[in-house]
C-alpha cells in the first residue's frame, strides 16, 4: 500500500492555499485505488492569489462543496472559478460547538479544549447531516468530480466529511486516519488564522474566539488529533452499528450508491 505522505501530486504548489490537497491515491480494502485528480480538500479559498486560482482552474473542477456556516461564507466568500463550476452550500442553523459554548477565559486549559473537540466531533454525524447528504448527492447525481471539499481551515468539518467519503469507498480506516492527520504537516493553522506575513486568512480574535485561548489550549483545538476523528466514527457506530449502516439509513448512500461511487472514483 502506498505510504500516506506528501506524494508529488498530493499537494499542488500553490502560493496562498490553506491545507489544499488531493485526497486520492489511497488503496481500498479490495486492492483498487482512489483516483488522483478527482477529490480535493481544503480550507478557505478566499485568500488565494491570482496564480493560485488559475492553477486550481486548470484542475477541471466541476464542484466546490462549501461546508461552512453562512456567517463564515459572508465574511470570506469563495472566489469564482468560471461558469462551469457549481458551488454547493447549505443555509441552516449553525452547528452547536462545545468550543463556542465556553467562556474562553485564560483558565481554559489543554485538557478542557481537547475534551471539547472530542465532544464536537461526536456530534458531527448529526450536525453535518444536511451537508453530508448534499456532498454525496453532488457526487452521485451531479455535478460530480473533480470536486473541492472545504470548510474554514480544512480540518474538522472537511476532515470528517472526507473521512466518511473515503470510508464509503472502502479505504481502510487506519489510512483514513493518516490522511486526516496530514493536516498537521500540511499547514500552520495558527499562522493562517493570524494572517502571518499577509499569507493567511487574517481572522480577528473577535471572529474566531479560539484565538483568545492560551497557547496550550489553542494547540489542542488546532491539532488534527486521531482521537477527534475517532470520536465521530465511534458515535455513529454506537448508534447505527457501522459506517455503512449510517450512510444508508441517514445519508441515503446505500450499497448501490456506494458501487456507483466506486465506479466513478476508483481505478479499475
pLDDT at 100: 59
pLDDT at residue 170 greater than cutoff 60: yes
Distance CA 196, CA 173 (A): 34
In a domain, 36, yes or no: yes
Q: What is the pLDDT of residues 19-71, one digit of tens each?
A: 999 999 999 999 999 999 999 999 999 999 999 999 999 999 999 999 999 98
Residue position matching grid coordinates 498530493: 10
Question: In angstroms, what is the C-alpha Rg of the chain?
Answer: 18
* Per-residue model confidence (pLDDT) at position 203: 59
Is 215 within a domain? yes
pLDDT band at 197 (very low <50, low <70, confident <90, very high): very low
Q: What percent of the chain has pLDDT over 70?
A: 86
Domain assignment of residue 1, yes or no: no
The share of the chain scoring above pLDDT 90, in percent, equals 72
Full residue range of the structural domain in which residue 59 is found: 21-265
How sure is the predictor about 145, in pLDDT bands with cuts at 50, 70 and 90? Answer: very high
Cα dist from 191 to 14, 84, 149, 184, whole Å: 16, 33, 22, 13
Among 61, 135, 148, 151, the active-site one is 151
Residue 16 has pLDDT above 80, yes or no: yes
How many independent structural domains does the chain possess?
A: 1
Most confidently predicted of 97-111, 177-191, 201-215, 242-256: 242-256
**Confidence band of 105 (pLDDT split at 50, 70, 90):** low
191 in a domain, yes or no? yes
pLDDT the model gives residue 91: 87
pLDDT of amino acid 2: 44
The pTM score is: 0.92
- Please give the residue that has the higher pLDDT: either 64 or 99: 64
| Backbone phi and psi for residue 39, each to the nearest 5 degrees, phi listed first | -125, 120
Residue 65 falls in the annotated catalytic set: no
- pLDDT at position 108: 78
Give the residue from 172, 207, 175, 173 showing the smallest Cα distance to 193.
Answer: 207
Question: What single string gives the DSSP state of each residue in 152-217?
Answer: SSSSSHHHHHHHHHHHHTT--HHHHHHHHHTHHHH--HHHHHHTGGG-S----TTT-GGGGS-HHH
- The CATH number for 214's domain is 3.90.190.10
Query: Is 10 inside any structural domain?
Result: no
* CA–CA distance, 127 with 121 (Å, rounded to integer): 9
Residue 192 lies in a domain: yes
Rounded mean pLDDT, 100-116: 73
In a domain, 219, yes or no: yes
At residue 175 the predicted structure's pLDDT band, cuts being 50, 70 and 90, is very high
pLDDT over 70 (residue 147): yes
1 pLDDT above the threshold of 50? no
* Across 186-199, average pLDDT: 73
Instruction: Tell me if 2 is assigned to some domain.
Output: no
For the chain, the average pLDDT equals 89
* Range from 168-177, 185-194, 231-240, 253-262 carrying the lowest mean pLDDT: 185-194
- Is the pLDDT confidence value at 236 over 90? yes
Amino acid at each position: 500500500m502506498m505510504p500516506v505522505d506528501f506524494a508529488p501530486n498530493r499537494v499542488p504548489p500553490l502560493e496562498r492555499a490553506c491545507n489544499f490537497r488531493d485526497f486520492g491515491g489511497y488503496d481500498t480494502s479490495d486492492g483498487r485505488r482512489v483516483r488522483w485528480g478527482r477529490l480535493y480538500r481544503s480550507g478557505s479559498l478566499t485568500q488565494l492569489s491570482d496564480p493560485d486560482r488559475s492553477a486550481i482552474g486548470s484542475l477541471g473542477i466541476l464542484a466546490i462543496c462549501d461546508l461552512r456556516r453562512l456567517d463564515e461564507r459572508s465574511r470570506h466568500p469563495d472566489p469564482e472559478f468560471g461558469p462551469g463550476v457549481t458551488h454547493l452550500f447549505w443555509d441552516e442553523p449553525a452547528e452547536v460547538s462545545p468550543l463556542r459554548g465556553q467562556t474562553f477565559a485564560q483558565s481554559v486549559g489543554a485538557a478542557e479544549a481537547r475534551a471539547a473537540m472530542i465532544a464536537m466531533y461526536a456530534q458531527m454525524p448529526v450536525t453535518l447531516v444536511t451537508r453530508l447528504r448534499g456532498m454525496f448527492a453532488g457526487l452521485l447525481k451531479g455535478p460530480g468530480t473533480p470536486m473541492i471539499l472545504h470548510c474554514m481551515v480544512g480540518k474538522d468539518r472537511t476532515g470528517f466529511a472526507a473521512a466518511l467519503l473515503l470510508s464509503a469507498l472502502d479505504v481502510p480506516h487506519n489510512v483514513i486516519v493518516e490522511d486526516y492527520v496530514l493536516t498537521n504537516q500540511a499547514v500552520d493553522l495558527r499562522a493562517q488564522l493570524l494572517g502571518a506575513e499577509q499569507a493567511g486568512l487574517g481572522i480577528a480574535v473577535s471572529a474566531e474566539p479560539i484565538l483568545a485561548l492560551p497557547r496550550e489550549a489553542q494547540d489542542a483545538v488546532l491539532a488534527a488529533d486521531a482521537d477527534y476523528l475517532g470520536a465521530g466514527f465511534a458515535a455513529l457506530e454506537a448508534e447505527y452499528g457501522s459506517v455503512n449502516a449510517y450512510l444508508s439509513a441517514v445519508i441515503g448512500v446505500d450499497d448501490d450508491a456506494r458501487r456507483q461511487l466506486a465506479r466513478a472514483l476508483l481505478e479499475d
